[in-house]
A = this chain, B = another copy of it.
């Protein structure tokens, strides 16, 4: 996400990120983002699929889009690499070499375990409630048929690499006072105005879970 910056004098200062070994950082990156990029190996070739997810303590639950293919793949090779990235700012230095981004990144390595029966039902609700807390209690309950048509895998959060880059611009002395500008451009995420789907929904109040989601994600960096 950033320039390597292994060039002598300012090596330490210019490292593009700090590694974090705090579980709280890992959990925070997982909980405050909405999509994971899940890497698999298919016939020796890489495949990366975007998935929604939920977390319960030290377990990540992934909800894929291409059910049967995913299942076949994971039976073959259950190893997955789950990457979750949050972009927070452009760091614009006087040189592009020293420019980069403020970001938080989690790269998780593990084995995917396919869930069945009650464990799957619980994980389905957990994913819905991870995305929009409180949503399950407000929605029409899931049917057995719907659960059967869905694939969920669990990945233990045993091995992960967490990087956090919040480094401010730190141009070397020789780049200063030559008329080049440097600064930070914050990247923001937010939520637009909710659009009720139809007349029935228009006649109902916006559910509490949706209101909380909006409040939380509007307040974001």
User: Residue A81 contacts which of B34, B47, B99, B125 (CB distance < 8 angstroms)?
Assistant: B47
Contact in complex: A7, B197 (CB < 8 Å): no
B-contacting residues, A176-221, CB 8 Å: 176-198, 200-201, 204-207, 210, 213-214, 217, 221
Q: Are A192 and B182 in contact (CB under 8 A)?
A: no
Contact indicator A95/B182 (Cβ below 8 Å): no
A145 to B179, CA, bound (A): 22
Tell me whether B206 and A3 are in contact (CB under 8 A).
no
* Docked CA distance A172–B129 (Å): 22
Q: Nearest chain B CB to A53's CB is how many angstroms away?
A: 11
Restricting to A148-182, which residues have a CB under 8 Å from any CB of B? 149-151, 168-169, 171, 175-182
Q: Which residue of B is nearest A145, CB measured?
A: B7
Known interface pairs A7-B145, A140-B95. Does A50 touch B105 (Cβ–Cβ under 8 Å)? Answer: yes
Contact of A97 among B44, B66, B150, B200 (CB under 8 A): B150
State how many copies of this chain the complex holds. Answer: 2
The interface of chain A, by Cβ under 8 A from chain B, is 1-7, 16-17, 34-35, 37-41, 44-52, 65-67, 77, 79-83, 85, 87, 89-90, 92-97, 99, 101, 103, 105, 107, 109, 124-125, 128, 131-132, 135-136, 138-143, 145-146, 149-151, 168-169, 171, 175-198, 200-201, 204-207, 210, 213-214, 217, 221
> A52-B101, A190-B190 given. 12 additional CB < 8 A pairs?
A1-B51, A37-B39, A41-B45, A48-B107, A90-B132, A96-B124, A181-B200, A183-B201, A184-B197, A187-B189, A187-B192, A192-B221
